[in-house]
Amino acid sequence: MHHRFAAKLATACALSLAFLWPASASAQGAEPVCNKCHEESNDSIKSTPHGAKNDAAGKACQSCHGDATEHVASRGKKPLADDKMAKAKTPDQKADACMSCHAGNRQLAFWESGKHAKNDVACSDCHSIHGRNRGPQPAIHTTSQRPNEADMCGTCHKQVRNATMKPSHHPILEGKVKCSDCYNPHGALSQAMVKHETVNQQCFSCHADKRGPFLFGHPVVEENCLTCHTPHGSSHNKLLNEKVPNLCQDCHVQGRHPTAYYGQNQAWILANGNPNTPTGPSNRFVYRSCLNCHNAIHGSNAPSNRGRYLIR
């Protein structure tokens, strides 16, 4: 309780001091010359950090669109000499223009090593510097009005966009999980640009109850969550790659009960609708199948064979 109070007090103090910090005025307090012709473009950035850094000469405008001296002198008759955002520029050239200012951003520390940089993704592919006002947001699955980040990422990652709409999914469409909660689109050194070092560390950052260490572990779980789960969406419960018991039996096909239900007096409902056994279908098919008994599939703290077989 004391910790919570201290945390809130510290937060309140930090924010209060933050407001009082003598920040330097970065804006020059004048309308950029570009506004005379490109009023709409200027309107779109004047309330943004770019606008705050602009000046009468259009410093912020020219940092992206190149030297406008002749363009202004000719009253727009001469095109911009080196518009870094021109359509003819390659994605890396456009990214270079942004990086000329933003390279010092901690989020961009690994931009050059990331997959987006290597796959012709320019900053402007995702960031709309002169974007339109935020209008009504389509939200078919959600009551949220926030822009859905997955809509943006989904324009390229079509497979992922469709996966998020499957019956089992993270609350992405509902606006409670964003792509950037797990990935750093600005570059990372980890596989698939996840934020943490490994996939499991990434999953455990939210699912802390799964991280163990457990008395009895499940090696596949400890090595890679993705062996069984697909994070973006699945037709199977619990974001599983495949339906149980099939998924389990792709590895556990030894004797005894994992496969016994294929045999006599086990499980099957015959074509005539009658069970193959007078005692009814096997409970190894019911509901969660293997997980009916092996519920502690991520690891168990139960002693002896109860834990060894992940059944308590």
- Which residues in 195-224 contact another protein (CB under 8 A)? 197-198, 201, 204-206, 208-217, 219-220, 222-224
Number of residues that bind another protein (CB under 8 A): 156
State phi, psi for 107 to the nearest 5 degrees: -70, -20
Contacts of 288 (CB under 8 A, 6+ apart): 237, 244
CA distance 140 to 138: 6
Q: Is residue 147 involved in binding another protein (CB under 8 A)?
A: no
CA distance 150 to 176: 11
Nearer to another protein, 1 or 77 (CB): 1
Nearer to another protein, 77 or 279 (CB): 279
Nearer to another protein, 72 or 297 (CB): 297
**Least spacing, CB of residue 77 vs another protein, in Å:** 25
Contacts of 90 (CB under 8 A, 6+ apart): 120
Q: Is residue 165 involved in binding another protein (CB under 8 A)?
A: yes
194: closest CA among 110, 92, 119? 110
CB 84 within 8 A of CB 90: no
Nearer to another protein, 77 or 278 (CB): 278
For another protein, the binding residues in 27-86 under the rule CB under 8 A are: 27, 29-31, 35, 42-43, 46-49, 51-54
Q: Is residue 109 involved in binding another protein (CB under 8 A)?
A: yes
190: closest CA among 200, 198, 179, 178? 198
For another protein, the binding residues in 228-247 under the rule CB under 8 A are: 235-237, 240, 242-244, 246
